[in-house]
């Protein structure tokens, strides 16, 4: 087992001489096995080793027991350890996330915190994660089920650059869970079992518990074959990217506007001469280069820009992260729009004196507008207060979903049947999570310490008694954007005078 891991590490360039390896150890079988193997290899491969353990605060005493187990293991192995305690439940609540996603964000934040501090004194820092063959298979199947590009079916990368001299590595990616368990049994090594791993309400657990066993009944080498296919696809993808990068340099030029912002110019004639696969990759690379990130850049956005090839000058599309692509004669210009600063002060709410019904005729007008144009809903309350609404056919920067108090993004298909704008009524509730749990508006106001004198004056967007948005506060889980969202309703409250 140890020699097999070593033979995987060296050709994939996972660990070099004098690297500082930070092993992410939860206490589970996979991470414990990884720690033992790295400890065995640190002398022959000549690297430094330490551990990070993140206690999520979800499973009470069981979670604390896991932390003590990892601490004792590291003490016996004489390996330095960093233990962090995080509050996943409150983080998930305050950021509108599920606990699984919140735990992952907080966990990786701590991994990177330690890595970045070590990177100041080390030439190369690697964060070792204990993903194995089955984990990779689960990832590939999950990505395919929800929709993905070639990167998704290539699976987990053995090594991935984070920033500067920091990387993620997966030294166990070439071994199976069964091999890991046999290794631990031979070593007579205990490990912790996370009770949430058997909960099939989580998508990955459902794949692990239900789908993989069915695939193994078809072929007991199914997991291995899926991983081998992913590796072949990764090789093809890497070659394709080199070819696309060569064309990108011929087709795309960069200039700067008067504010010093980058403007990416795509030559339409040269792009039109390319094979469709190369053309789409050139556009994808352009958007990512402008955004400085890959997340939320999908095929939908690539196709929207590609569609501009045959459009007249001035036609444009809105893209994630406030990026815009505009036709300018023989060029498509891709650039970051100047951000409009939102008023962060608390709005002095006025009564919504009458119930305002937003019906189908409003949405018909909205759908006739050019992408990005707005409609106004006046509150007729004696002030200049109003809502501005626009329809987007592109993803929204996830940061906007959290940080903007008075602008929210809703799943258009879930709201286009109509809604009301009004003040609170008896029986109002908000759906608080993915399980559909209801919370009474009164209870929400009490929990958020909203003064009783203010509660009757806060505007609400509702569908009957279900709350879409408590203006200035949270939106109902039912109306959130998901991976299935095709169109987005942006709604902004302007408090008037």
Residue 208, domain member (yes or no): no
- Please indicate if the annotation marks 28 as binding a ligand: yes
Q: How many domains does the chain have?
A: 3
pLDDT attached to residue 61: 87
Closest of 141, 154, 262 to residue 205, by C-alpha: 141
287 and 375 within one domain: no
* Domain stops at, among 203, 219, 252: 203
Q: How far is CA 201 from CA 213, 435, 474, in A?
A: 17, 10, 24
Q: Which range of residues forms the domain containing residue 131?
A: 2-203
DSSP 418: -
**pTM confidence score:** 0.62
pLDDT digits (tens, 9 = 90+) for 390-428: 888 655 555 555 567 889 989 888 888 899 999 999 899
**Average per-residue pLDDT for the chain:** 88
CATH number of 88's domain: 3.40.50.620
**For the CA atoms of 242, 243, 246, 248, what is the dihedral angle to 10 degrees?**
-100
125 falls within a domain: yes
Q: Is 27 annotated as a binding residue?
A: yes
Q: Is the pLDDT of residue 204 over 80?
A: no
Q: Is residue 210 part of a domain?
A: no
Q: Is 286 in the same domain as 426? A: no
184 and 239 together in one domain: no
For residue 172, the cross-strand partners are none
CATH number of the CATH domain containing 325: 1.20.59.20
- 290 and 254 Cβ atoms separated by less than 8 Å: no
pLDDT digits (tens, 9 = 90+) for 70-119: 999 999 999 999 999 999 988 888 887 778 788 889 999 999 999 999 99
Express as a percent the part of the chain with pLDDT over 90. Answer: 57
Known binding residue 31? Answer is yes
Beta pairing class for 407-411 and 419-422: unpaired
In terms of domains, do 268 and 365 share one?
no
217 occurs within a structural domain: no
Rg value, the chain, Cα:
26
Say how far apart CA 181 and CA 177 lie, in whole Å.
6
Does 193 lie in the same domain as 319? no
Q: Are residues 313 and 361 in the same domain?
A: no
- Nearest Cα residue to 138 out of 205, 76, 72, 184: 205
pLDDT(339) > 50: no
Q: Is 33 annotated as a binding residue?
A: no
What would the DSSP string read from start to end of 235-291? HHHHHHHHHHHHHHHHHEEEEE-TTS-EEEEEEHHHHHTS-HHHHHHHHHHHHHHHH
Do residues 372 and 483 both lie within one domain?
Answer: yes
Per-residue pLDDT tens for 236-285? 999 999 999 999 999 999 998 877 889 999 999 999 999 999 999 999 99
Q: Are 296 and 303 in contact (CB under 8 A)?
A: no
Instruction: Give the model's pLDDT for residue 222.
Output: 94
- Number of other residues whose CB lies within 10 A of the CB of residue 485: 16
């Amino acid at each position: 087992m140890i020699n097999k891991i070593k033979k995987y590490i060296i050709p994939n360039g996972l660990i070099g001489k004098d690297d500082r390896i930070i092993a992410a150890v939860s206490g589970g079988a996979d991470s414990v096995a990884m720690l033992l193997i790295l400890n065995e290899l640190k002398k022959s491969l000549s690297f430094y080793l330490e551990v990070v353990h993140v206690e999520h605060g979800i499973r009470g005493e069981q979670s604390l027991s896991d932390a003590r187990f990892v601490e004792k293991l590291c003490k016996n192995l004489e390996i330095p350890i960093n233990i962090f305690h995080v509050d996943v439940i409150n983080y998930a609540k305050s950021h509108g996330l599920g606990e699984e996603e919140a735990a992952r964000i907080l966990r990786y934040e701590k991994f990177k915190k330690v890595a970045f501090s070590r990177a100041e004194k080390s030439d190369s820092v690697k964060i070792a994660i204990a993903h194995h063959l089955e984990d990779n298979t689960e990832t590939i199947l999950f990505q395919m089920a929800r929709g993905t590009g070639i990167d998704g079916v290539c699976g987990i990368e053995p090594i991935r650059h984070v920033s500067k001299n920091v990387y993620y590595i997966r030294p166990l990616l070439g071994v199976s869970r069964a091999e890991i368990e046999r290794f631990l049994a031979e070593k007579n090594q205990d490990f912790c079992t996370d009770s949430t791993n058997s909960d099939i309400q989580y998508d990955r657990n459902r794949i692990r518990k239900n789908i993989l066993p069915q695939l193994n009944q078809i072929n007991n080498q199914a997991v291995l074959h899926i991983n081998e296919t992913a590796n072949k696809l990764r090789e093809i993808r890497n070659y394709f990217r080199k070819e696309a990068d060569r064309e990108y340099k011929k087709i795309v030029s960069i200039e700067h506007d008067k504010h010093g912002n980058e403007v990416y110019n795509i030559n339409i004639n040269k792009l039109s001469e390319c094979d469709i696969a190369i053309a789409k990759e050139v556009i994808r690379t352009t958007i990512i280069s402008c955004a400085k990130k890959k997340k939320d850049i999908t095929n939908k956005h690539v196709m929207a820009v590609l569609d501009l090839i045959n459009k007249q000058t001035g036609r444009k599309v809105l893209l994630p992260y406030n990026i815009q692509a505009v036709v300018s004669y023989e060029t498509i210009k891709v650039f970051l729009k100047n951000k409009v600063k939102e008023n962060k002060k608390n709005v002095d709410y006025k009564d919504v004196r009458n119930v305002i019904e937003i019906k189908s005729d409003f949405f018909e007008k909205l759908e006739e507008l050019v992408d990005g144009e707005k409609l106004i809903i006046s509150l007729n309350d004696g002030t200049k207060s109003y809502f501005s609404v626009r329809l987007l056919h592109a993803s929204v920067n996830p940061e906007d979903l959290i940080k903007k108090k008075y602008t929210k993004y809703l799943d258009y298909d879930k709201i286009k049947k109509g809604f009301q704008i009004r003040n609170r009524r008896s029986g109002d509730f908000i759906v608080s999570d993915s399980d559909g749990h209801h919370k009474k508006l009164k209870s929400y106001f009490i929990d958020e310490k909203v003064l009783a004198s203010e509660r009757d004056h806060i505007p609400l967007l509702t569908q009957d008694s279900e709350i879409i948005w408590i203006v200035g506060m949270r939106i109902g889980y039912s109306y959130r954007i998901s991976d299935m969202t095709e169109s987005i309703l942006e709604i902004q409250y302007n408090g008037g005078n």
